[in-house]
């Protein structure tokens, strides 16, 4: 009976890694679903209290991104997007499925518009793919060129 939970956890881990590394159609579907896809560098992060769509008061971080390249959507020199979590004063909120954005990080961000005129990552944390110095998504073999190819395929 212990084998079933282990197999289930292993299967979920493989599915999650597949979605993050862009194997299969996951990355193409992510690109199709997003309103905008950009590559850029975080230039500022500001955390504040906000109220979500369900009326919950929580901490959010607004990350400003200098856009190096627009892969989908209208071109803009910079874009700001909101992720749940952050620190206000001595109070911090960590959200397990959302990335912590830091100044200087480079990322590909799949964005959706909000009804309040802002942007949020499409697919929550799956909408932010942080890049290392070699233009690879951290922790995967997925490259920026792979992402660009997937976005182009999604736009066909």
Structural domains of the chain, count: 1
Runs of H (alpha helix) within the chain: 3-21, 26-33, 144-154
* Ramachandran region, residue 33 (left: φ > 0; alpha: ψ -120 to 50; beta: rest): alpha
- Name residues whose C-beta falls within 8 Å of residue 38's C-beta, 6 or more positions apart in sequence: 65, 67, 68, 69, 70, 71, 73, 79, 108, 109, 111
pTM: 0.82
DSSP type of residue 23: -
Assigned token pair, 96: 């397990």
Q: What is the CATH number of the domain that holds 58?
A: 2.40.50.120
User: Which structural domain, as residue segments, surrounds residue 137?
Assistant: 3-154
pLDDT 10s digit of each residue in the chain, 156 long? 444 443 334 343 334 434 444 444 689 999 999 999 999 999 999 999 999 888 999 999 999 999 999 999 999 999 999 999 999 999 999 999 999 999 999 999 999 999 888 999 999 999 999 999 999 999 999 999 999 999 999 988
């Amino acid at each position: 009976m212990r084998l079933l939970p282990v197999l289930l956890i292993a299967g979920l881990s493989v599915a999650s890694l597949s979605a993050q590394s862009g194997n299969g159609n996951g990355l193409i579907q992510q690109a199709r679903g997003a309103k905008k896809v950009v590559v850029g560098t975080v230039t500022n992060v500001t955390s504040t209290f906000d109220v979500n769509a369900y009326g919950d008061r929580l901490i959010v971080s607004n990350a400003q991104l200098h856009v190096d390249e627009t892969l989908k959507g209208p071109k803009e020199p910079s874009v700001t997007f909101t992720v749940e979590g952050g620190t206000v004063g001595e109070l911090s909120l960590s959200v397990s499925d959302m990335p912590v954005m830091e100044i200087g990080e480079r990322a590909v961000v799949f964005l959706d518009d909000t009804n309040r005129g802002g942007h949020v990552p499409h697919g929550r944390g799956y909408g932010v793919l942080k890049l290392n110095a070699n233009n690879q998504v951290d922790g995967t073999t997925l490259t920026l060129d792979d992402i660009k190819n997937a976005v182009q395929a999604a736009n066909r």
